[in-house]
Every structure is written in C-alpha cells, then in structure tokens.
Structure 1
Amino acid sequence: MSLIVQKFGGTSVGTVERIQAVARKVAGFRDQGHDVVVVVSAMSGETNRLIDLAKAMQANPTPRELDVLVSTGEQVTISLLCMALHELGYGAKSYTGSQVRILTDEAHTKARIREIDDHRIRSDLAEGNVVVVAGFQGVDEEGNITTLGRGGSDTTGVALAAALKADECQIYTDVDGVYTTDPRVVDKARRLDRITFEEMLEMASLGSKVLQIRAVEFAGKYNVPLRVLHAFEDGPGTLISLEEESDMENPAISGIAFTRDEAKITVLGVPDTPGLAYQLLGPVSEANIEVDVIVQNVAEDKTTDFTFTVSRGDMAKAEAIVKDLVQQTGAREVKTDNTIAKVSLVGVGMRSHAGIASKMFKALAAESINIQLITTSEIKVSVVIDEKYLELAVRALHAAFDLDKEPAT
C-alpha cells in the first residue's frame, strides 16, 4: 500500500463547500487503497484576519503571542475536514503541529523544522484512519507554539512526507501544475509534465509563486517526489523530482521566471581598493537585507561604480545604509532605481547547450529592450531590465525558445 501526503492551501479550503470537496477527493484516494496524510492551511483570508486583530492590539505584535494567535486558523480547518470525512464514513484524526510534535527552533514567526515524531501518525494510519495535520506550525523545545512563515504549509507537507518516507507529496493549488511561465503574461504558456528540483528551486527563487522555496529545498534534500496539482480539476499536474530527462533532444530551457520586486542601488566613484565589496555590502547584509545581482565596473581613473539589487521593499533601508558609508569610502554619490524587473531563463539543459545567453540577448535586442545587469549560474541566465518592458521581454523569450511547443520525443 502506498503512502501519499497531500497538502491543500487556503483557497482549496476557503469555504465549507470546498472543504467538503477536499474530503471527497481524499476519500477517493482511500478507496484506491492509499494511506493518506493531509496537511491543510487556514481558510483563505483567515491568517490575514488574525494578523489584523493582533495589530489592533499592538502595532508590532509580540512574536510568541502572534504565533499562538495565527496558528488557530489551521486548527479550524483540520477539525472541519475530519468532520467532513466522518460524514462520508471514513475514519480521520486531526493533529496540530504540537500534537504531532513537529519540533522547530525558537524563531517565532519564521521557525525551521528540526525533527518530526511520526509515531502517532503511523499508528493512526495502521488503524485505517486518514491523518489530518495543521500546516504552518510546530512547537519548540520549551513547548511554545511556533509558525514557519508564509507558505509554511508547503514545508510541513514535504517534511512529513520525508519523515514518513511517503511515495509522493502532492501539493494542491489553484493552478494545474508548473508552467513554462505565468499564463497571465503569455497565453501560450505550457504546463510542464516534469521538472527537476534544481530547476524548481531556481524558478521559485526567481519569482515563480507556485511553491515555497524552503519546501523545494526540503524536497530536494530528502528526495521527496513532489507533484503540483489543481485542487478541483483532474489532471496529471507537474512532477518535481531528482531525475533529469535523459533525451538529449529535450530543450535547454524549462521555463521563464520573473519578478517586479526589484530595486537597483549604484554607488558612483568609489576608490578601487581591496575590501570595497565588503565595506559596502557587509553592513547591508548585517541589516538582514538580501542582495541579488552585483556588478562592479572599474574606470581608468582607478575609481569604480558598484551596483547591486535588493527587493523593492528594502531599497530605502539599503540606500540609507550605503549613504552613511559614502563618506567613509570617499564615493561620489549614490543613485537608486525602483523601476526595474528581473527576467530569468531556467533549465538544466543549459549544461549541454551552448549559446543560450547570446540567443536571449538577441531576442531582447530585437525588441529594443536594454539590458542593465546580467547574472548567470550553471542552469540560469538572469537580466535586469526596465520594468515597463517586462511582459514584452517574457513573451519575446518564450517565443524565441519555442516554449509553447511540446519537447521532442
């Protein structure tokens, strides 16, 4: 008998009727002979409602008490889903993160899972029950309720699948799989039958919102096969696994990711001396600001222009830090730009296909789109461009790399 872990997000359990539909879907898998563990999020909008309540009491809610509050959203969903399964005649038991003992560190609102006690789950499965677990939450060594951060239910699902050595972890969402790019931008975007952990991790980190990054990292580390499926439409979805396709004719590019949440900071006229990068970026990093693309250009007068990108929400904070450093470094001035976007090609096939970057640059040049910054890795090429050209760039690249066509077999 195979074991499947299924995770349903907030929109999938957003109403009583949708919870009942989820119960029928879970029952169908039980009828096929599968053992099933279900992880659920809070009902759509519930977490935001609880956070608003907290902010009505405190402008900056105490993290420990905030975790206690927001974790109640999932507790509602697990009990309702079990009731729906009972009504259909199936045995089911609900568990909060602390009841299962999903042990985490002490970092409230952004805790990380350390270990899972699977004893109670295995015992319930042996008795023929569906086990329903609250996503997004755990407990620390002191017994304090913790939460895993936004999207943490994905991580809960994957972590349980790893601990239970499940045959597959199915992530049910409001889309029917992972696409070559956002179908709202490119109407010919194509659902991928499969993608590697590496590719999905790059897609998630570069702007794709289908899966939480930490969940993909966890799945790759423990080799948990992931499948992204639509909650209420039948279909094969997209399988995310360790294996790469062996067919050498498969395309070099699997998908195009993009993000509008980008800002650029340039420090002009900095003396080109050893340790410059650390002088500028060390304090930024210490302020917990994540830096993405970094470019340094050295001029003939032995000064350098130093450019880096951060998320748009961090721009003002990073700019203030860098301006404080200008006098120390002897830099001329600081410039910022929050009207940029990043577009990325992703594909493990890049390892065996030459000319990907040049083809990308040619396609953008044909649309008169100027590239401001470039960064690459073994399986991705990213460019920073003016945000107003973002959708045009994505459509041009999707066509240039024939991503609307099924791969050769």
Structure 2
Amino acid sequence: MADKVKMLGLFFDNDQGKGYSSGEVVSGHILIDLSVPIQITAIRLHVTGCARVGWIDGSQIRTLGAFSLVSTPSSLFQCAEEREYLCLSKTLLEATADNDGLMLEEGRHEIPFELELPQRHLVSSFTGKHGSVCYLVKAVLQRPNHHDQHVCRELPIISHVDVNSPELVCPVSENNEKMVGRWILASGPVSLKVNIERTGYNNGELVPIYAEIENCSSRLVMPKAVIYQIQTYKAKGKTISCKQVVASVRGNHVPSGCSVTWNGKTLKIPPVSPSILNSDILRVEYSLAVIVQIPGAKKLKVEFPVVIGTTPYNDFASRSLSMISGFSTGWLPLTLPDTPEAPPNYADVVPQEEFEQHRPPVSPSQQSEELERQPASQTFSYIHEFRFRPPPLYSEIDPNPMEYQTVFSV
C-alpha cells in the first residue's frame, strides 16, 4: 500500500538562504503525490536540534622496555556527551473525532507550514572531527493501519556574531624574539613584531597584516601568515582539541642581516563556519599567526585569537564604539575648549605717553566724515600715509611693570 504515496517531500521557502537564526520563521510546504486517494490520520511537523560529541579514549599505554603495549579494547571507553537545543512540534492536518480520517484525492498536494524559532540564542550548525551541531525538520504522514511515513531535512541554523562589538574592533599588537643557536654557536636573534587593526572578521574579508621581521642571524628565514581553526570537544570531564590550517599566505625570504616590513599584507578569510562560543561541549575558535621559519631551529611565532562573525563590518560604527570603549577605560574625553578671553585693549597695554603720540587727532566718526568730503586723490594719499606709518616702538623691557602685571593678572 505504500506505493500509493508516490512522493513525500519537504521544501523550505528560502532554500537559497544561508540559514535561519533565533526568532525567525521557518516556512515551506510538504509535497504529497498520490497515485490513488488515501485516508490519513494526521500530518505533523517536528523540529529538533542537538549537539553531539564523542571519541574513543585509548590513551592508556604500558611501556615494557623497548616495546609499548597499547591497552586492550576492554580498557578503551567512549567519551560522549549530548545537548538538546531545540524541540518543537506542530500538527498541520489531523482527523477529528467525528470522522475516522481525512481523504486526500489522487494527485499532488502541497501543505504549507510556518514555524517560529525561539528567541533564545541557538548554537550554529557545525560538523567537525569529533562532534556536530545538527538541526532537523521531519514531516510525518500518519495513516490508519499503516506505518508512519516521514521525510527529514537538515535545517541550517546560524547564531549571529557581531564583529562590530567594542572588544573586536580594537587593534592588537605583539612582538617576539628568538636567539638562533646556543652558546658559542649562537648566530644572532630573529625578531618579529606584528599588529592587526581588529580581531573580528567575516567570511571573504581581507585581513591586513602589519609586521616587521628582522633577521640578525646567519640563516635565511621565511615568514608566513596562517589562520587556524581550533575545534574543542568536552565529554565525561575530558577535553580533546584539533587544530587545522584554513588559510595561509607566504612572504619573501629574509636574508641574513636584513629586515622586511609587511605594510598591510592581506590574508583572505575563507568560507568557514562562524565562531561557536556559546556551547559547553563544543567550541569552534580561530587564530591568526605570523610564523618565521628558521632552518635548523624552532620557528618563531606571534599568534592572535580572532573571531569569525556573521554581521557586516561597519567602519564608522566600529570606530565610534572603540572611542566609547576607550573613554570607559580611562582616556580623557575630547571636549571643546572654553570661549577664549578677549585680548586687552591697546590703550591698557601701551603707556599713556606713547598712546597720545600715536593717537589720531580726530575721532573715527569725524575721520570718516572728512574722508567723504575729500576728493578721491586726497583720500588715497591719506590712506597711503596711514598705511605706511610705523608701528609703536617695541621694547622687551616693560616701562610700567607693575601696571602690566595688574592688567594681566587673573
């Protein structure tokens, strides 16, 4: 009788989207294609989500002389944990008490659905080496005297991480140095200084790296920049981590006695999962490292933690937040200065004798009336004579020091 249902499908309206987040509505439809009419009891929808981590712990090893015996399988045990993040159910169609079932005619039927996700923060979907975070939507077709038929689809969930938060937009810098060789065989130090503009980025962004590599050793060294993904799993009181390179860029070799400067060398963020920081059994973190490889010696490294987010970077808003954050950490706030005090009057500064000597014989109003009555040629000559009149004599010795001090005292 199962062949009466030719197809049972589950479709989302935004199949091309990047995923759903807390508070959003998941919408779509269930497609049922029937070869003959059938009677159904109900059509239900279930949404579940959980994180599962697990690995086999076989770290118990006994050493006998030159031989090592790995513990037997009976001593191996599985470290596993599980956390439930989502559990929702909704009935789309159901037979009532008045009838034993609902009839669906032959052909295709589309049953739409809408389901609102909770407002609480959900952990982003992820699949890693020792665990995963997975959300599933299951549509169940119930028929009288038949086994339930169902179809499942994975529901991508994204927990948004804002890269414009104050702690992610501040520049960071660090330096490190390593002496190549030891004792009398030491050839000199290799120093590394690195800084980046911020620690929050999105997929596809270019990370400008500013670095200074100084090679005072006798060896040829080579710098490179790397982005690591660090997966951390916790179960049964134990922790296991794995670290892998997701992006890298190499620089030019630095000969002995030379230095190289990276003035914004770029490293592109690949399409990776956003940072997962809100789960107690599974974490996904990232770091950016600048490494100097030294032949015959351990590498020199400077490493910064970075956060891969989901919201677009806003340069103006981020700068404002960083300024506010700076004020809260003790910076002096930028305030406009008070209105400047008016300068002293000329007559108050220059001695009375000198003022009387250079004071015009008539008042300014009389002067303007006289200029209006004079012809233009005489007015020009008067202005020309006034323009080239020498200024009052200046002396570094104040003839009236007490009076000068009284005038400018505050």
Q: TM-score range by the shorter chain?
A: under 0.3
TM-score by length of 2: 0.25
- Give the TM-score, by structure 1 length: 0.25
Name the structure with the higher strand share.
Answer: 2
Q: Which structure has greater helix proportion?
A: 1
Larger radius of gyration: 2
